[in-house]
Amino acid sequence: MLTREADYAIRALLRLAQLEGDRVLSTTRLAEEMLIPYRFLRRLTLKLEEHGFVESARGKHGGLRLARPAEAISLLDVIQLMHPESVAFNQCLVDEASCARSPECTVRRTIADIQAEVHHQLAGVTMATLAAVPKEE
Amino acid sequence: MLTREADYAIRALLRLAQLEGDRVLSTTRLAEEMLIPYRFLRRLTLKLEEHGFVESARGKHGGLRLARPAEAISLLDVIQLMHPESVAFNQCLVDEASCARSPECTVRRTIADIQAEVHHQLAGVTMATLAAVPKEE
DNA sequence: GAATAATGATACGTATAATGTATCATATAA
DNA sequence: TTATATGATACATTATACGTATCATTATTC
């Protein structure tokens, strides 16, 4: 399950992907448009900036823009940044030492295969993909 | 991420799937063999029984066995019983009313598609599938 | 029939994390 | 110089995952 934080991050980045040129959008408007709690978004965008997903302009008429092409930001990227565990399918696939069983155990291998497939799919959807969908949102 | 409860349930059912005939296995041994905390397993098996996954025999030499064929118990079945949220990929896919956005929003539809694919895969792996793997566990 | 070994049912405790809010500092445009 | 923006943290509140504990009931075996 996506956390709200990851969900909000995806929606915020999607909106920024829709901006033209090097326009910026303020966090205030971003929060309003995407129905995200303002203060939550503020904290969240700091992390996005820290990790090179967005750039910010301070002061009046400041705001945010993507720091890299929308094609270069996948759902997997965002989720792994915001909440790595939500794309891990079992504890042992995050922390090997957390499980006393064999690393080759049937359950682990089976779950790992499914996880790999999901990661592949999540990596295939980028902010450009989402932004290209005729908007209904 | 699978919860420990779901993980344990899968491992317990897998072990029971390996029993021959209508043999039973006690919770004590099941816990030992599959490295599951005994009391946790006790509570967990009640739920499995309540929902028709296992049958129990009480008294001395009692224990548990599968209540239906191993082929008829998929990973999806078990996870959905133990922890439905862990196979839901977003809050809005569990509780429509939790989100004020359009049901047709891009993010929701995209995540829903990926969720459907994962469910398909989880439904394709049964306790019989797992039990058939040459054991290394 | 008493002792033993098993499950049935439920209640309790604790630590972590998700979600959201608040505060103060800093930068920039008009 | 004022207003509007972000930078950086700290705080509060639930919810829940995980594990433990307790008492009752059933069936086998000697």
SS3 sequence of B83-109: CHHHHCCCHHHCCHHHCCCCCCCHHHH
**Helix B75-82 / helix B38-50 crossing angle, nearest 10 deg:** 110
Residue in A1, A35, A122 closest to B101 by CB: A35
| Nucleotide of closest approach to B61 (CA, C1') | C6
* Amino acid at position B51, single letter: H
| Residue A79 exposed, middle or buried by CB count within 10 Å (0-12, 13-18, 19+) | buried
Say whether pLDDT at B135 is over 70: no
Question: How far: B27 CA to C1 C1' (Å)?
Answer: 27
B122 CB neighbours in chain A (<8 A) are: 114
Count of Cβ atoms closer than 10 Å to residue B46 Cβ = 12
Q: Which candidate, B98, B122, B106, B126, places its Cα nearest to that of B16? A: B126
The three-class DSSP label of residue A101 is coil
CATH number of the domain located at residue range(s) A4-86+126-132 in this protein: 1.10.10.10
Upper half-sphere CA count for residue A62 (Cβ side, 13 Å): 8
List phi, psi (to 5°) of B100.
-85, -5
Contact A1 B91 (CB under 8 A): yes
Tell me the two tokens of residue B84. 């439905």
CATH number of the domain located at residue range(s) B4-132 in this protein: 1.10.10.10
Question: How far: A40 CA to C25 C1' (Å)?
Answer: 19
C-alpha distances out from residue B100 to A34, A137, B104, B105, Å: 10, 11, 11, 10
pLDDT per position in chain A (137 positions), as tens? 999 999 999 999 999 999 999 999 999 999 999 999 999 999 999 999 999 999 999 999 999 999 999 999 999 999 999 998 888 999 999 999 999 999 999 999 999 999 999 999 999 999 999 999 876 44
Average pLDDT, chain B: 95
With contact defined as beta carbons under 8 Å apart, do B93 and B87 qualify?
Answer: no
Q: Is the CB of B61 under 7 A from strand D?
A: yes
Check residue B124 and give its pLDDT: 97
Question: How far: B116 CA to D8 C1' (Å)?
Answer: 40
Q: Is the CB of B60 under 7 A from strand D?
A: yes
B94 CB neighbours in chain A (<8 A) are: 1
